[in-house]
Structure formats: C-alpha cells, structure tokens
Structure 1
C-alpha cells in the first residue's frame, strides 16, 4: 500500500469517527438509572434498555413498556394491544382499584403522593385514608371508564373483566411464598423510577425474614408444634393448605398437619365426619381460624365451639394452652383486613407473629394475629393514627432478631 493510500484511509477513518461522535451527541441515550433484579418472585421479570424498561407479567401474559418521560420515544410511541401496553414513567398520577388491593406497597415506595384516585375507601392504611380525607385523592366509579382514563395508570388486582389501555395488573398474591409476594415491590417501583428504594425495602424485609426464620429453627423444644389453618363455611370445616401459609409454618418453626390424616371437608351434620374432625383437633397444638366473620369483634371461642358442635374447650389442646388465633387483628370498618395488605408487603411481621404463636414468650405484641384464647380484641384502622406525612415513604418494620 502506497503512503498516499494509507493517508487517504486514515483520513476516511478519522472522518467516520467524527461523524459517529456527532450522531451520538445529537441523540444521547436517556439513562434508565437504577435497576431492579428479580431474585425470588416467579411471576414477573424486568428488562432494561437505554430509554425504556419492560415488565413481563407471568400471570396474565402482559408486557408493560415503560418509556422514560425525557426520551423522544415518550411522545411518539403508544401501545395498547391484548398483550402489550405502554406507559410514560415516572407516572404523573395514578388510580387504584382498592378492593382488597395492597396499597402498602405504594407507601413503602413513597408513591402515595401521586395516588389521585381510588375506587373505594375500604383501605387498611391509616396514611392513605388520611390522604384521601385531606382531599388529595378522589373517589372514582370503576364502572365508569371515563373516570379512569384521566389517570396515567389504573392499577388493578385481578385479571378478570375488560381492561382499558391505562390498566396495569398487580398480582403478588399469585406467588407461592411470602418473600416472592413481597418482591413485587420491585414491580411497582419501576413505574415510579424508584428501583433503588424498592431494592432497599425488599433487602431489609428479606434479611429480617431470614434472620427470624433461623432464630425460629433454633428454638429448643422437644417437638415442633403441629399447626393447622381452619376454615368454616356453610356447615363444613376444612383444612386450608395454601402454599404460602405452609411456608410460613415451616419458617416459623412449626409443622403442618400431615396430608394423610386430614381429608378435604368435614360436614358437622354427619356424625362420623364430626367425630373424625374432633379427633384430629385433639392432636393439634396451634390453630389459626380464618373463618369469615362479618363482624370480627363478634367472633369468639364460643363461636368456634358452636361451629364445631363441641361441648367445651377441655378436649382441644390449642384451647387449653391458649394458642387459638385469627389474623383479623387490624381492620377498617369491620370489613377489610390488613392481613391482605400489609401482611403481603411485610411478611417479616407475619413471621414474627407466628413465632410468638408457636413459641409464646409473652413479651411480643403481634401485628396481624390476635389470640382468641386470651380474648384479645381488634385494632381499628383510622386516619388519625397516621404518624407521618402521608406522601413520604414508610419504612419497613424491622423486628429484633438474634
């Protein structure tokens, strides 16, 4: 190659680099910033690009394209198909179908300030109720699409029914373990560009949960307590065996009732069924009764004995030993239970409650569970009990652990 050819080639490469540099400078990528990586949850994933991120929901198959509001894509791109929807983030505002929706995730993230609409005031959060009563949140009719389209996003907790373009599903309850459910805070965090906060909260919750579980495993007792979750409905008793509840039992140092012992349903009107059910109850150390009660304060040991057609409580060890529990301790207007809200976002508190239920110390105040054996009452959730600015993040409660 001649010297003149080499010079021409170098000149061309130099010009090419200059052109590329100008092109890159003219359209700089918008940095996504902090990111979240899914560690435990099974039903969602997050993927990141230069100016966008995508949430893949494994429950309903939806993909949410979240476009940074400072990118050119934000003004040009809009998707609304049966499988792909797009949102501009961080959300300017949002609404929530608050029928049994865990709004505590928004509190932990500090996103309540952008919550501008709710479909019901049946909420188990003092601070969200306070924000609503102050006029910062409006009550909207979820059957009127026009009222919902005014919001950048409308979060729902179900896959049923028709969904508008701004609807986004949030389904942590589909997961099988407590920590998998709690990690859905990362799912919501992406809508507010709050991945760093979501990571911090989940790390704190997970660390505390695992520490408590290790402490429970070290409890020095001869045998693990046998634990049963019971449900009564229309004259039938059944043993509840949802995966996440069974996981709680194991992590709290207990042992679930063997599947070979219990059948699905016991009809109290059939003598043989009733005898078999009573026989099993006599072997159980701890019972968690999750029978629905329209007025939780009215549900007592007498209610349980009437439903089981038992003469007294002397035959059942969980009653004589005072280890008969319900998870309706925190309620709002006798309807929604905080078990379905804060109990999902902060499983370390549920675990701490169960450890106290299985291994009573007498010096720990439970959050979600009340002991009917000791005639413990309920705590009413009211706005006046919000102890912070409603729009500021709520820190997770860390239970002392040794």
Structure 2
C-alpha cells in the first residue's frame, strides 16, 4: 500500500491563534460563506432520461454521496451546514460529454466540467486533499494565505502561483473573478454570502463542502472522495482513504490492549467560561479511541460545553493530563491568564500538551489544516501522549508539551 506523504515546515512559533479551540466562535472564525450557482449553458433545456446508476461507496460520511451514470456523475451535498434544509446536486461531466448532453436547469445546482483544471478553495482543511491527490498545482486562489502551513503549497503562494483573496468574511471578488476558476469550494453556516452573489452573476460554480459538520474523525477524512470525484481520481481517493482508515483502526486496536486509562482534561477559560468538548464531539471520539478516561465523556450536545471554573476544577483538579489548553503557547502564558490554572495536578506535573505551537512559516496552525484529513496521525499523537509505551519510536505530529 502506498505510503501517504505530506511535508510541512519545521518552524514552530508562539503566535497566538486566531482560531480558538473548543469555543463556539470557532465556527465564525473558520467561515467563508458561499451561495450556490452554476455556469449556465443556453443549450441546456432537455431533461436527461434516467440512466443506470451506481452509488460510490461512502462508508462513514453522511454529508455527501456520488452517483455514477453512464456518461456523467452526480455529486450530492446533503448537509453542508448544521440543520441544512436543502440538498445540493452537481453534475460532474467531461467536456466531450457535456457538448452532447442536456440537463434541466432547475434540476441541478451546478454543471462542473471534470477533471477540474483550476480551483479556488476557502478552508485550509481543503488543501491536504489536493496535495494527497497530487493536484495542488490546480489551486490558484485562497483567502488568508498566511494560515496555510503546507510547505509545498506555501512555496506556490510565495512564487505567486496562488493569489491572496482577502478575508473569509469578505472575499476579494474582483481578484477571484479575474482568476476565472472552474469551481470554488466553499463552506458556510447558513448558505448566505454577499461575495457569492457577485460570483454567481459571473457564472462561476460554487460547491459547498460540509466536511466539518461530520460527526466522526473518519467521516471527515472520507471527504477526500469528494475531491477525488472533481479530478476523476475516484480510485486514487479510495486508496488514500483506505490507507488512513487502516492506520486509524490499527492504532485504535493497539490502544485497547492497555488497562491503564489516564484521566484527561481539555480546553481552557475564555473570559468567565471554560469551553471544552462534549462527549459526542469528534475530539471526544479521539479520546475514546485512544482508550483514555475523558472526564466529560458522558455529556452530549451540539456545541462545546460551557462551564464555570469552579465546576471544572472540582471535577478535573486531579486529572493526569491536560490536552489542548486553548490558544496558550506556554505554561507561563497559561499562568498569567489565570493563576488558578496552577492548582491543577496536570499543571504541577508539566503534563499539558498543545497543538497550538506546531505551525507553518507564517503562523498557520498545522492541526487546523491537516488534522481533519489525517485522523490517524491525531489518534497516534494522543496514544503516544497517554500510552507512550505503545508507540516507543513514534514522534508526535501535531501535539507538543506546553513549554
């Protein structure tokens, strides 16, 4: 099986993260919102009769599916954001077949010519899929290029091959329109965006990507098949995901062999509220699969838990480990923020670990870029921290001890 390679810079900075972990505002900070549109073809008027169709195998992801017809495929995104009321359908078709095939305008939300030659993506989580599929050269624009950590893509940004598109909250539509991408991959929390209204009028198709809405690590990683369909690389995407899935399950099985389950605390205070993952979150799933005792594993909810300091201290004072203490880069910074943090055993014993300091050259946090695509690495990191004897030669990829 082919080994998956993904190179990053080794320069770790203490830059304060813009995106705060385990906080409801995370959704706002990672958002660029796109309204769907399609490239209109004046000749599209005849509804195509039903053809034999075969659905691609999607094992974990619930937010999309792909149906293969004889000369085109249909990509359906049915959960682009929480509680979405509409499913979006896109035709994926070759240039040759598009010239001789007609579709009803109102039946689909976009007609995409594949393989895609030029693309704009709007989240750092989309970039690993392009690189794993060896299609990073098709990326021509991105909003917030400083947040990109990948060494390979950073080089293309630095040499001008990838244009800066401004902030997620307001894309530089003038620059984006001048690039004339084949498709824009966006994400949103409600499907509204002034920027996309402008792009829609220019007939540039936009596809929502809902990987972040998925409920499990492997479900999020399976969205590489979404990108595989855009590049006519379904087999390659399947093989990459199979490798990730196999590695993840092997690590999960290894973690089950230990009886000692250290207690784990997560998150930190923001103003007067301590935010930490609820027991049904993806973060909690990692901790469960790493066979540790997450102190809030029995909770549930749609967002982060929001508790008082006193409530957390009473339950987690003696926790063995403290993972992901928000954006704090050092022990001293944690102490300066709230001296009461020093009363936790994990602080006293220097057992606090963060991914906040593992960044690219311009401060982009590697975890926020690659963690979603490579849950196998995240899981092995946590196992290494919590059960170091199981992976004696493994070096953590994202997490480091808080300095």
Q: 8 Å contact 2:149–2:363 — kept in the other structure?
A: no
Structure 2 length-normalised TM: 0.72
- SS of match in other structure, 1:103: helix
Q: Distance in 2 between matches of 1:329 and 1:94?
A: 30
Q: Distance in 1 between matches of 2:164 and 2:93?
A: 28
Q: Does 1:247 align with 2:276?
A: no
Using CA pairs under 8 Å that are at least 6 residues apart, name the structure with larger relative contact order, 1 or 2: 2
Report the Cα offset of residue 253 of structure 1.
Answer: 1.1
- SS of match in other structure, 1:329: coil
Report the Cα offset of residue 133 of structure 1.
Answer: 2.2
- SS of match in other structure, 1:95: strand
Deviates more, 1:301-310 or 1:345-354: 301-310
Q: Distance in 2 between matches of 1:237 and 1:359?
A: 27
Q: Counterpart in 2 of 1:69?
A: 95
Report the Cα offset of residue 310 of structure 1.
Answer: 2.3
Q: 8 Å contact 1:36–1:186 — kept in the other structure?
A: no
Q: 8 Å contact 1:101–1:157 — kept in the other structure?
A: no
Q: Which has the larger radius of gyration?
A: 1
Q: Counterpart in 2 of 1:21?
A: none
Structure 2 counterparts to residues 113-128 of structure 1, below 5 A: 113-122=137-146, 123-128=148-153
What do residues 216-257 of structure 1 show as CA deviations (whole Å, max 9, x unaligned)? 110242xx1122221321232233226111110011111221
Residue 225 of structure 1, aligned match among 240, 243, 262: 262
What do residues 273-322 of structure 1 show as CA deviations (whole Å, max 9, x unaligned)? 3xx433222231221134235xxxxx22222234343284xx53323443
Q: Does 1:291 align with 2:317?
A: no
Count of aligned residue pairs for this structure pair: 324
Q: Distance in 2 between matches of 1:79 and 1:94?
A: 25
Q: 8 Å contact 2:93–2:111 — kept in the other structure?
A: yes
Q: Distance in 2 between matches of 1:103 and 1:169?
A: 15
Note the residue ranges of structure 1 that are not aligned, 5 or more in a row.
Answer: 1-31, 294-298, 376-402
Q: Distance in 2 between matches of 1:137 and 1:260?
A: 45
Q: Counterpart in 1 of 2:48?
A: none
Q: Distance in 2 between matches of 1:306 and 1:42?
A: 43
Residue 274 of structure 2, aligned match among 205, 227, 237: 237
Structure 1 length-normalised TM: 0.73
Q: 8 Å contact 1:35–1:195 — kept in the other structure?
A: no
- Structure 1 residues 155 and 166: alpha-carbon distance in aligned structure 2, compared to 1, 3 A threshold: same
Q: 8 Å contact 2:119–2:139 — kept in the other structure?
A: yes
Q: Counterpart in 1 of 2:294?
A: 256
Aligned-pair Cα RMSD in Å: 2.9
